[in-house]
Structure 1
Amino acid sequence: MYRLTANDAKRNFGELLLSAQREPVIISKNSKDTVVVMSMKDFEEIEAMKRDYLKHCFEYAKKDLDSGATVDGETFLNSL
């Protein structure tokens, strides 16, 4: 993954945009990784994966509710 400092990203914004089309770019500030810049295509794919995962979780939870495989909140907290 390509890395830039915040100052380099500011000075070379065009390069940042071109690089982000190929792969995500990590931008650091004060020696800490701060943000990732990525292509819209990559972002949309990640968002689609998150939606699919949430849909799967809701379907799994609905099956548990329909089959009665649930516990009340107090029992759950006590089991922790």
Structure 2
Amino acid sequence: MNTLTANDAKRNFGELLLSAQREPVIISKNSKDTVVVMSMKDFEELEAMKVDYLKYCFESAKKDVDSGVVVDGATFLNSL
């Protein structure tokens, strides 16, 4: 993954957009990685994966409830 400083990204915005179409680009500010610029296609795929994961979690939780594998709230909080 390519990394640019915020100033470089600002100066070369067109190049940043072209680079982000190929792979995500990290933008750093004050020597800290701050944001990632990515193509819309990559973003949509990431969002779809998050939705799929949430569906999996809900389906798994529903199976646990249906089979009686549950923990009451107080026990859960106490275990933390």
Fold conserved (TM > 0.5)? yes
Category of TM-score, reference length = shorter chain: over 0.9
Q: Name 1:33's counterpart in structure 2.
A: 33
The separation in 2 between residues aligned to 1:28 and 1:11, in whole angstroms, is 14
Q: Name 1:58's counterpart in structure 2.
A: 58
Q: CA deviation at 1:13?
A: 0.2
> Partner amino acid for 1:53?
Y
Q: Name 2:21's counterpart in structure 1.
A: 21
The Cα offsets for residues 12-61 of structure 1, whole Å up to 9 and x where unpaired, read as 00000000000000000000000000000000000000000000000000
2:70 match: secondary structure: coil
Q: CA deviation at 1:79?
A: 3.0
The separation in 2 between residues aligned to 1:15 and 1:74, in whole angstroms, is 54
Q: Name 1:10's counterpart in structure 2.
A: 10
The separation in 1 between residues aligned to 2:62 and 2:16, in whole angstroms, is 44
Identity over the aligned pairs, expressed in percent?
88
List alignment gaps of at least 5 residues for structure 1.
none
The separation in 2 between residues aligned to 1:29 and 1:77, in whole angstroms, is 39
Q: Name 1:45's counterpart in structure 2.
A: 45
> Partner amino acid for 1:69?
V
Q: Name 2:71's counterpart in structure 1.
A: 71
Q: CA deviation at 1:77?
A: 2.4
List alignment gaps of at least 5 residues for structure 2.
none
